[in-house]
Amino acid sequence: MLSRSAQGLYWMGRYLERAAHLSRLMQLQVETLVDRPLREIHFGWNRVYSSMNQSPPAGTLEAFGNDDYALADSYTLADHLTFEPTNPDSIWNCFAFARENARQVRNYISAEMWLSLNMTFLRLQGLTIQEIWKTAPESFYAGTAKDIATFTGVAEATMYRDEGWHFIQLGRFMERVQLSASILLSQIAAQDGQDESFDADWANLLHVFRAFDAYVHTYSVVVQPGQVLDLIVTDELLPGSVRRSLDATASVLDAIGPGPSPGAGTEAAALSASLCAVVRDGGKDVTAWSVTLEQVNGDSRKLHQQIMDAYIAYPLESLPVR
């Protein structure tokens, strides 16, 4: 496969995963505006921006004011995260970038995938924050996440299982690992130094990963931060767990095999296997989990670069003579 094609498929997977993740966060965040205390609303916005390594448009968020202030502030923040063209990680931009990458690798994806992606893109193109805020913004975000899930299902049902498929999956799982580590570290950092751990914040985190029912089934209705982290990071039965995403990344790299140049891909495969082992070892408490997640966060970014070097940006002089 041409490196340009691999790059387009890889980034299409990453951008769609990013859009789905942010849509899920936004759905849960706007739901808190209905009846949750200001502290919880403020915590949620800070967690979103911190996990994206961004600052809010105004620079900082203040944890005071009244309900009207919080609603107006939330409107501005939602617009920035959803439709703002200058925000590279806005939902709109993620879809635009994913569609452009898909257009460039049109011959590698199925007609049904292209149709599904275009239908969602066109729906977003005609919307503004004013329109979705008039009715039920949480329905918009839930619908957007559902559209991406539909695209994933269409891809599962219709795409040929060649290298193109593997690079899309590699992009999805790499993005999921980095986003998961980032938001978990943001959650821990936000709670650090507080006299008490707010159950609602950790319960909300479980909902981000669609893990609340699994948590209750595995542990109890009492939410404990250490148990939340243990489930989200290490549970191999949880679809969105860090461990499952890392295991999937390792499997995809194995399926892709060596890169074009001698030894290409070996470092990526080794680091991927190492990360799987780190996560399986787990942590004993929140502090230990923080150390583990910092390693996952840093090493997953190294892994991304190794993937780029092995399959996409490899030096031409290393190619065999034809």
Q: What is the pLDDT of residue 283?
A: 74
Domain contains 138: yes
**One domain for residues 218 and 141:** no
Decide which of 115, 139, 158 is a domain's last residue.
158
* Total domain count, the chain: 2
Decide which of 114, 140, 158 is a domain's last residue.
158
Buried-state track 187-204, b at ≥16 Cβ within 10 A, e below 16: bbebbeeeeeebeebbeb
Domain contains 322: no
User: Within 13 Å of residue 109, how many CA atoms lie on the same side as its CB?
Assistant: 32
**One domain for residues 46 and 176:** no
Q: Decide if pLDDT at 277 tops 80.
A: yes
Domain contains 119: yes
Mean pLDDT of all residues in the chain? 90
- Structural domain span for residue 136: 1-158
105 Cβ contact list (under 8 Å, min separation 6): 5, 8, 9, 12, 164
Reported as a single tens digit per residue, the pLDDT across 208-232 is 999 999 999 999 999 999 999 999 9
Decide which of 133, 158, 183 is a domain's last residue.
158
pLDDT tier at 45, thresholds 50, 70, 90: very high
Using CA atoms, how far residue 258 sits from 156, 197, 262, 310, in Å, is 24, 46, 8, 8
Domain contains 146: yes
> Is residue 87 within 8 Å of residue 93, measured between CB atoms?
yes
Higher pLDDT pick, 62 / 306: 306
Domain contains 229: yes
**One domain for residues 167 and 78:** no
**One domain for residues 121 and 166:** no
**One domain for residues 146 and 181:** no
Q: What is the pLDDT of residue 258?
A: 86
**One domain for residues 27 and 144:** yes
**One domain for residues 151 and 169:** no
**One domain for residues 42 and 191:** no
CA distance 47 to 200: 14
**One domain for residues 167 and 259:** yes
3-state secondary structure of 259: coil
Domain contains 150: yes
Reported as a single tens digit per residue, the pLDDT across 85-133 is 999 999 999 999 999 999 999 999 999 999 999 999 999 988 999 999 9
Domain contains 145: yes
**One domain for residues 12 and 52:** yes
**One domain for residues 261 and 302:** yes
Domain contains 114: yes
Higher pLDDT pick, 66 / 292: 292
**One domain for residues 256 and 185:** yes
